[in-house]
Amino acid sequence: MSGLKDKFEKLKREGRKALVSYLMVGYPDYETSLKALETVLERGTDILELGFPFSDPVADGPTIQLAHEVALKNGIRSKHVFDTAKLLKDKYPDKPILLMTYYNPIFRIGLEKFCKKSAESGIDGFIVPDLPPEECQDLKEAMETHSLSLVLLASPTSTEKRLKLICNKSDHMVYFVSITGTTGARKELPMEELERNIQKYKKTCDKPVVVGFGVSTKEHARSISRFADGVVVGSLLVKLCAERNIEALASKVEELKEGTII
C-alpha cells in the first residue's frame, strides 16, 4: 500500500488533518537545509515536500524562486536530492516524502531511471506543477511500475470536467491551489470562495485534497482544515530556513500543526 494512502487513513482514524511542509534541498546551504528538514519532520509535519532545484520554476513566487537559484549555485543536483530523501526516509520511515519537481529534470534523466532512483531513495511520489493531466500518462505508467503516487494540481479555475480528469489521474491525493498565481506566503486567503471550491471538488472526487499557495498562519490552517484534508506550507518555511532560524522554524511548524487539529 502507498505510504501516502496509509498516512491519510491514519490521520482520518485519529481525527486529524495533514500538515504538508515544503523545503528546498541545499538552501541556503546543504547543512542548514538538512537540519531544517529534520526539524520540520520532528515537530509535526505529516507529509514532506522535498524541493528539487530547477532553473525555471514557473509556478513559484520570489521566495522559492530564490531557493531554486541558490541551491543550484550551491551545486545541488539530483544525486544530492535522492541521497537526502534516503537519509530522511531511513530516519523517519512513517513520513511520506513527495518530490516537488518540474517535468524537465524527470524527462532529462529519463522517466524509468528517475522513477527507479526515486523509489530506491524512499520517495513516495511526485508533485509536478507544470505537468497537465492530459499529458501525464507516460510518467504515470513509469511511476506505477515503482509504486509511486502521482499528485496533480487543481485550481480555482478548474471545471467539473477537469476536476474529474485530475481526480482520475492522481493517486491518493490532489493538491488544490488556493488562488490563481504563484506560491508565496499571504496574510489573507479567500476562505469562503476556497470552501466553495473544495465542496465542488468533493462532489467530484473522493480522494484526499490538500490546499496550498499562500498558507502561512495557524488561523489559515484551522480554517482550511474545516473543509479540506490538509494544508501545504512552503514559502514561509523556506524564508525561516533562509534566515537559518531553526528555532523559529520549529515553533512555526508546531503552531501550524495545532491549526490542523480540529
The amino acid occupying position 87 is L
Average pLDDT over residues 30-42: 98
Q: Tell me what pLDDT residue 185 has.
A: 54
Which pLDDT band holds residue 179 (cuts at 50, 70, 90)? confident
Tens of pLDDT, residues 159-177: 999 999 999 999 999 999 9
Asked whether residue 224 carries a pLDDT value surpassing 80, the answer given is yes
Angle at 108 between CA 104 and CA 109, to 5 degrees: 120
Active site residues: 49, 60
Cell numbers for 36, please give them.
531544517
Tens of pLDDT, residues 106-163: 999 999 999 999 999 999 999 999 999 999 999 999 999 999 999 999 999 999 999 9
User: In terms of CATH architecture, what is 3-259?
Assistant: Alpha-Beta Barrel (3.20)
Asked whether residue 218 carries a pLDDT value surpassing 90, the answer given is yes
Domain spans in the chain, listed from the N-terminal domain onward: 3-259
**Nearest-10 crossing angle of helices 111-120, 137-145:** 40
Which pLDDT band holds residue 1 (cuts at 50, 70, 90)? very low
Output the average pLDDT for the chain. 94
**Percent of the chain residues past pLDDT 90, beyond the cut:** 89
Which pLDDT band holds residue 64 (cuts at 50, 70, 90)? very high
Average pLDDT over residues 68-94: 98
Asked whether residue 183 carries a pLDDT value surpassing 70, the answer given is no
**Percent of the chain residues past pLDDT 70, beyond the cut:** 96
The secondary structure of the chain, three-state, reads: CCHHHHHHHHHHHHCECEEEEEEECCCCCHHHHHHHHHHHHHCCCCEEEEECCCCCCCCCCHHHHHHHHHHHHCCCCHHHHHHHHHHHHHHCCCCCEEEECCHHHHHHHCHHHHHHHHHHCCCCEEECCCCCHHHCHHHHHHHHHCCCEEECEECCCCCHHHHHHHHHHCCCCEEEECCCCCCCCCCCCCHHHHHHHHHHHHHHCCCCEEEECCCCCHHHHHHHHCCCCEEEECHHHHHHHHCCCHHHHHHHHHHHHHHCEC
